Amino acid sequence: MKLNNSKIRYTQCRGCGIRIPVSLFRYCPDCSKVAFRLEYERISVKSKKSFWAYVHRNGRKCFLSGMSLEVVDYTCPWFLVFGRLKPGDKTKIFPASALFNAMKGRLSKNEFRYFVLALDDHRKKHLKVKKIPLVHWKGIEGEKVCVGCAQAAALKGRVYCAKCARIAYRMKRARFPRKAMNGVWKYIRKYGYICYYTGIKLNLDDPQNPWYLVFDHWKPRDPRKIVITSSLINRMKTDLTEEEFWYFIRQLANYYRKGTVVKKRKLSYWYRSYRLY
């Protein structure tokens, strides 16, 4: 028995423009999933119009690469996400793959294209990658950058990220001078959570960890200069200055390697008194 298709009326999907039967739905099954996400993310009407205009012309293809996008499997690197023409600006969005949108990050379309080509030339032709000014790198509109590390986003309503907030609290509780605390933040912004003496990445969560971040007086008991180091190194340094610490490390290393005698020297800040009970 043949079905009579002459009575079925068709229209166009308001997204991609393909032919669909007339029904209560305005979009094809795939575009309806995208339309739901646009509503859920509260994209403005103007932005949605420009988005659908792009899809109508080009289909559900990545704005950055031209490849067809996935709309069902959100774990796929080619899953359709909403990229911003200008980072942080929702007024101009486009479809992009999850992978390439992540690679683009806070770059504009032209900046991203420039670095893709520059990196390819560096790999193939060994040409040097030249730096260019980045318009949106220092921060996205509406997002505050942590004043401590200047890398992560600050917590809502605060000036620090979660990691730096704990460090700021510990320094405040220890009553370090403002100048000393500023010195710590300056070091963290430049190097990250790295030990001043060894270059080892420090642990920020577990106080029982030997590599847990602690504050060391660069000169014993002098609060004017504080550096970050690990709990282990801080205990080894004890009441030594940095110069004295490395002197005795060298002396001990020579003793273990060559059997040379460890030479004593007068210490500037050693005031410990050990008593026998």
Asked, for residue 154, whether it belongs to a domain, the answer is no
Burial class (CB in 10 A: 0-12, 13-18, 19+), 6: exposed
Residue 145 has pLDDT above 90, yes or no: no
| Cα dihedral 193→215→195→258 (10° resolution) | -170
| 170 and 91 belong to one structural domain | no
Asked, for residue 101, whether it belongs to a domain, the answer is yes
Q: Which domain-ending residue is among 105, 126, 152?
A: 105
- pLDDT grade for 187, boundaries at 50, 70 and 90: very high
pTM higher than 0.85, yes or no?
no
Asked, for residue 198, whether it belongs to a domain, the answer is yes
Most confident of 129-143, 150-164, 165-179: 165-179
Asked, for residue 5, whether it belongs to a domain, the answer is no
| 27 and 96 belong to one structural domain | yes
How many separate domains does the chain show? Answer: 2
| 95 and 18 belong to one structural domain | yes
Q: Which domain-ending residue is among 78, 105, 132?
A: 105
Residue 152 has pLDDT above 60, yes or no: yes
Residue 1: predicted pLDDT: 45
CA quadruple 171, 172, 173, 176: dihedral sign: positive
Asked, for residue 217, whether it belongs to a domain, the answer is yes
Asked, for residue 138, whether it belongs to a domain, the answer is no
Residue 112 has pLDDT above 70, yes or no: yes
Asked, for residue 211, whether it belongs to a domain, the answer is yes
Asked, for residue 110, whether it belongs to a domain, the answer is no
Residue 277: predicted pLDDT: 47
Provide the residue range defining the domain that includes 214.
162-258
Residue 72 has pLDDT above 80, yes or no: yes
Are 73 and 49 within 8 A, CB to CB? no
